[in-house]
Amino acid sequence: MILKANWKYNLCWLILMVAGFYLMNTLILVGVINSFLENMMVTIGINIILAVGLNLVIGFAGQFSLGHAGFMAVGAYATAIIISKTPTAGAFYGSIIVGVIVAIVAALVVGIPTLRLRGDYLAIATMGAAEIIRIIINNLKITNGPSGMFNIPQFATWPVIYIMACVTTLIIVNFIHSRGGRAALAVREDEIAADSMGINVFKWKLAAFVLGAATAAVAGSMQASYLQTIAPSNFNIMESIAILIIVVLGGVGSITGSFVAAGILGVVDAALQSFGALRMVIYALVLILIMIFKPSGIMGATELSFKRLFNRKNKKQESGC
Amino acid sequence: MTTLLNVEELVKNFGGLTAVSDVNMHLNDDELVALIGPNGAGKTTLFNLLTGVIGPSSGSITFRGTDGTISLNGMKAYKIANLGMARTFQNIRLFKELSVLDNVLIAMTAHYKEGFFQSVFRLPKFYKTESQIRKEAIELLKIFDLQNDLDKLAKNLPYGIQRRLEIVRGLAMKPKVLFLDEPAAGMNPEETADLTRLIRQVQRDFHITVLLIEHDMSLVMNLASRIYVLDHGSLLAEGTPTEIQQNKAVIKAYLGEEA
Amino acid sequence: MTTLFQQLINGLSLGSIYALLALGYTMVYGIIKLINFAHGDIYMLGAFWGYYTINYWHFNFIFALLSAMVVCAASGVIIEYFAYRPLRHAPRITALITAIGVSYFLENGMSYLYGADTRDFPQVIKQVNYSLWGVRVSNIQILILATACLLMILLQLIIKKTKMGRAMRAVSVDPDAAELVGININQTISFTFALGSSMAGAAGVLIGLYYNSIDPLMGMTPGIKAFVAAVVGGIGSVPGASLGGFLIGLLETAVQSVGLSAYKDAAVYLVLIIILLVLPSGIFGKNVKEKV
């Protein structure tokens, strides 16, 4: 029954994704999207992967993590190191998997002790953990230390990043709407009640944290291979904060919001390029003003849903009859 | 009738304060027992001990599970819950921002499996499990007349309905024992009468053991087959409603409080 | 032994700067539960104020320090009024993002107005080194330590002995109840920001004197470290913030002295995580358990 009811919505999402791809492809072919705009789109795509993953941890499992950039760094360096040695497409895809695995291990090492902490204490501990990861990378030989890595082969072209953004979002959204996602939501809502419902609170916190970290690693791999240069300073606290800003600006607990905010910030950032030093001042003011006038973020906690769109239409027709 | 849950010499100290001292009690299969006592007698603390929210200072709690009798001392709350102990809370703890249906589905978490890959790649098996589990949840909600509120957020339900949903959520765990912590708190007489019927119906239809904390004496005397009276952390009396009503120590404890 | 004492002196000097900064974090967090990310930038403002007043208005040290404290107190109050007050009842994470926005605004605003380059802080007090049993102590180190300790004692007196201090403590425990007994919440919060920011301003001038160089982004790292110090000490606790500041300062210099300066920040964060695992609310923090 559910299978039949759902194929319609699933098809809608598929059509939307394919249409987006062809639109982008056509716009590039006819030259509307030049390399500057392509770069902007790719940045938005990578930020979507990052923000959706962080939103899972913060918005859905309710765990305030400030260490997302650390896991991103793991993916970025895994890819950079592997494809600098073996520049083949196979090695590139392999490196994404390696990055994800290392990030999962790192997330377990970080999460198992720190996820016992709450709220701001957790935030500061995860931030510290991410900084430790970055400082280790900063001091290793294989990562070329503080100067970073250059001339990384470019396998992550825009179509690869587009598909990766779609796939990671699907994985996370599908996770949220399943047994595990519901357990995570219960943990966010009320740990004591969840516990008394037989839910292993710690396990599901950790699951969401690890899944978020894994997607961050994917984003890191994409960034390393698209930009072709990375340095440890790309993954500092400010980067974690930048991802957090997207999540909060879009609406904590709204995946649609993360998309919208990543898009808006990407465009604003590109548009402000010509403002030079004033750029960050304007950006800061915009940020403060949006937060003051829209404290729950652009989307609040609501989502774009084909199901709701259809239902609304059906209801209208019913009332019309 | 056999003993399902057995409590012996249970003690809980908070620093220098003894909240529960030397409590002995037992719950049998398929019965409705009430726990009464003046405010601050330690009733909720006892509930928290039985459900593993806090650990006892000394004494033992044993539970007859499917594979023999096990000790619950030091066991984590979620494990105790999964043995078949469900509860409601004195100050309703629903998942407020989630829908009525999700509240019930979450309580069923331990009763079904969905593999990670099944879920995230939406394999056919996932839809099968989901539709099965939803059907079960909706059927349960139907019994309690909540089938029209599936998509409503729990926080938007009227107070009395929230209490009812909390009981449904407990039942969704397919418990052997259901602990109800002051289910009639804040209800008017009419709502209380409804609730009394509901609790009786639940106990009868689901064949479970219910342990009820309640201040409303008419509700307790109507429902319970046995009553435990707790005062200052220790058991004052145990017996049938008639026995308790005539017990001098109980009358004194209550009048002492009322006066 | 001598090196140990040498490192102790260096660590205490650095630690007193962290402690002064941590006090602001801890007081603001205690009263409105906000990680005031812009706090480190107030410290930067203090340093720049000192730089300009000493260079162009020829202030002496004491005057520069006191005026920096006043100016920073005013900036703290203004920031709270415009950026945080409208969000008092918004989700806490929103206020946090606003604080980050204010931090970006101050950092980049200063860079835009005065340039992003590093400047030499005027040596308003000539550095004199004393040698005590082989341990080298400069007059500036002594000045930093003494000023920091004096300010911390003063702060403790204000919080414990004055009416405003009592109001601060009341609001941090229960703002609604405090309002019911006639405490002006807005005034109290403003006062808290003023106190915390003035400490940061003093720290800014002192660090300028100590390290001899300032720039618009100088508040970022010490700001985060001071916040770590506040958390280690138990956020919300004033003695905790002082202790945490000194601990972090000592730890950093210790790691540096054994030749691991590349890992000094990592060591700070590692200690932070370990302390939180043992004491989830820091050294002097109260662990509040939820009642069921």
pLDDT of residue A127 exceeding 60: yes
Phi, psi of A76 (to 5 degrees): -60, -45
Using a CB–CB cutoff of 8 Å, tell me whether C290 touches chain B: no
Contact B106 A197 (CB under 8 A): yes
Burial A243-272 (b: 16+ CB within 10 A, else e): bbbbbbbbbbbbbbbbbbbbbbbbeebbeb
Q: Which residue among C87, C228, C262 sits closest to A124, beta carbon to beta carbon?
A: C228
Residue A145 lies inside a defined structural domain of this protein = yes
How much is the average pLDDT of B34-46?
90
Total of domains in chain A: 1
Stronger pLDDT, B193 or C74, i.e. the higher one:
C74
Lowest average pLDDT, out of A107-116, A271-280, B205-214, goes to A271-280
Query: Alpha helix locations (H) across chain C?
Result: 2-32, 39-56, 61-79, 92-114, 139-161, 163-173, 175-180, 185-211, 220-233, 238-257, 264-278
Contact A178 B51 (CB under 8 A): no
d(C-alpha A80, C-alpha A229), whole Å: 8
Phi, psi of A150 (to 5 degrees): -120, 170
d(C-alpha C35, C-alpha A121), whole Å: 11
Burial C131-150 (b: 16+ CB within 10 A, else e): eeeebebbebbebbbebbee
d(C-alpha B130, C-alpha A118), whole Å: 32
Phi, psi of A252 (to 5 degrees): -65, 120
CB A192 within 8 A of CB B95: no
- Which residues in chain C have their CB less than 8 angstroms from residue A265's CB? none
Which residues 111-170 of A have a C-beta within 8 angstroms of B?
170
pLDDT of residue A277 exceeding 80: no
- Which residues in chain C have their CB less than 8 angstroms from residue A129's CB? 269, 273
Specify the pLDDT at position A321: 41
The residues, ordered by sequence, that sit 6+ positions from A213 with a Cβ below 8 Å of its Cβ are: A53, A68, A71, A103, A104, A106, A107, A111
Residue A134 lies inside a defined structural domain of this protein = yes
Taking only the tens place, the pLDDT of each residue in C169-202 is 999 989 999 999 999 999 999 999 999 999 999 9
d(C-alpha A187, C-alpha A207), whole Å: 12
Specify the pLDDT at position C45: 96
Residue A33's alpha-carbon distances to A25, A166, A261, A266, in angstroms, are: 9, 20, 21, 15
Could you please report the per-residue DSSP string of B13-32? EETTEEEEEEEEEEEETT-E
Which residue of A179, A188, A189, A191 to mutate against B (max B Cβ within 10 Å)? A179
What's the mean per-residue pLDDT of chain B?
91
What residue numbers bound the domain in which C61 lies? 19-218
Using a CB–CB cutoff of 8 Å, tell me whether B89 touches chain C: yes
Contact A198 B128 (CB under 8 A): no
Contact C98 A296 (CB under 8 A): no
How much is the average pLDDT of B198-217?
91
Specify the pLDDT at position A317: 54
Residue A96 lies inside a defined structural domain of this protein = yes
Residue of C nearest to A138 (CA): C262
- Which residues in chain C have their CB less than 8 angstroms from residue B48's CB? 292
Total of domains in chain C: 1
Taking only the tens place, the pLDDT of each residue in C268-282 is 999 999 999 998 888
- Which residues in chain A have their CB less than 8 angstroms from residue C269's CB? 127-129, 131-132
Contact A281 C98 (CB under 8 A): no
CB A225 within 8 A of CB A83: yes
Q: Which residue among A1, A193, A200 sits closest to B93, beta carbon to beta carbon?
A: A193
Residue C95 lies inside a defined structural domain of this protein = yes
Specify the pLDDT at position A320: 42
Query: Alpha helix locations (H) across chain B?
Result: 43-50, 77-84, 100-107, 116-120, 124-143, 159-172, 189-206, 217-223, 241-246, 248-258
Size of interface A-B (CB pairs under 8 A): 103
Give chains near C: 3+ CB pairs under 8 A. A, B
Identify the three-state secondary structure at position A191.
helix
Residue C255 lies inside a defined structural domain of this protein = no
Helix H or strand E encompassing A222? helix A201-227
Residue A29 lies inside a defined structural domain of this protein = no
- The whole-model pTM stands at 0.93
Specify the pLDDT at position A307: 74
What residue numbers bound the domain in which A299 lies? 34-320
pLDDT of residue A319 exceeding 60: no
Contact A292 C98 (CB under 8 A): yes
Q: Which residues of A touch C (CB under 8 A)?
A: 58, 64, 113-114, 116-118, 120-121, 123-125, 127-129, 131-132, 135-136, 138-139, 192, 237-238, 241, 244-245, 248-249, 252, 277-278, 280-281, 283-285, 287-288, 291-292, 295-297
Residue C194 lies inside a defined structural domain of this protein = yes
d(C-alpha C80, C-alpha A153), whole Å: 48
- Which residues in chain A have their CB less than 8 angstroms from residue C100's CB? 241, 245, 287
Q: Which residue among A178, A196, A201 sits closest to B114, beta carbon to beta carbon?
A: A178
CA distance to partner chain B, nearest, from residue A15 (Å): 17
Taking only the tens place, the pLDDT of each residue in C125-151 is 888 888 877 788 888 899 999 999 999
Cβ neighbourhood burial of A156 (10 Å; 0-12, 13-18, 19+)? buried
The residues, ordered by sequence, that sit 6+ positions from A88 with a Cβ below 8 Å of its Cβ are: none
Strand partners, B71: B62
CA A37 to chain centre: 20
pLDDT of residue B179 exceeding 60: yes
Residue A291 lies inside a defined structural domain of this protein = yes
Using a CB–CB cutoff of 8 Å, tell me whether A183 touches chain B: yes
Specify the pLDDT at position B255: 67
Specify the pLDDT at position B1: 59
CATH number of B3-258: 3.40.50.300
pLDDT of residue B259 exceeding 80: no
d(C-alpha B102, C-alpha B148), whole Å: 14
* Per-domain boundaries in chain B: 3-258
Taking only the tens place, the pLDDT of each residue in A139-186 is 999 999 999 999 999 999 999 999 999 999 999 999 999 999 999 999
Give chains near A: 3+ CB pairs under 8 A. B, C
CATH code, A154 = 1.10.3470
Longest alpha-carbon distance in chain B: 66
d(C-alpha C194, C-alpha C192), whole Å: 5
The DSSP call for residue B71 is E
CA distance to partner chain C, nearest, from residue B91 (Å): 8
Strand partners, B7: B25, B61
Which residue of A173, A182, A197 to mutate against B (max B Cβ within 10 Å)? A197
Taking only the tens place, the pLDDT of each residue in B83-116 is 999 999 999 999 999 999 999 999 999 999 999 9
Between strands C135-138 and C129-132, the pairing is antiparallel
In chain B, % of residues over pLDDT 70: 98
Residue C25 lies inside a defined structural domain of this protein = yes
Residue of C nearest to B43 (CA): C292
pLDDT of residue B145 exceeding 70: yes
Residue A181 lies inside a defined structural domain of this protein = yes
Taking only the tens place, the pLDDT of each residue in C146-156 is 999 999 999 99
- Which residues in chain A have their CB less than 8 angstroms from residue C292's CB? 192
Residue C234 lies inside a defined structural domain of this protein = no
Contact B93 A190 (CB under 8 A): yes
Contact C97 A245 (CB under 8 A): yes
pLDDT of residue A17 exceeding 80: yes
How much is the average pLDDT of B218-222?
87
Using a CB–CB cutoff of 8 Å, tell me whether C292 touches chain B: yes
Tokens of A263: 């898009």
Lowest average pLDDT, out of A102-111, B63-72, C140-149, goes to B63-72
Give chains near B: 3+ CB pairs under 8 A. A, C
Of residues B109, B130, C289, the one with CA closest to residue A195? B109
How much is the average pLDDT of A218-231?
97
Residue C245 lies inside a defined structural domain of this protein = no
CB C207 within 8 A of CB C223: no
Contact A199 B78 (CB under 8 A): yes
Taking only the tens place, the pLDDT of each residue in C234-283 is 988 889 999 999 999 999 999 988 888 889 999 999 999 999 999 888 88
Residue of A nearest to C99 (CA): A288
Longest alpha-carbon distance in chain C: 62
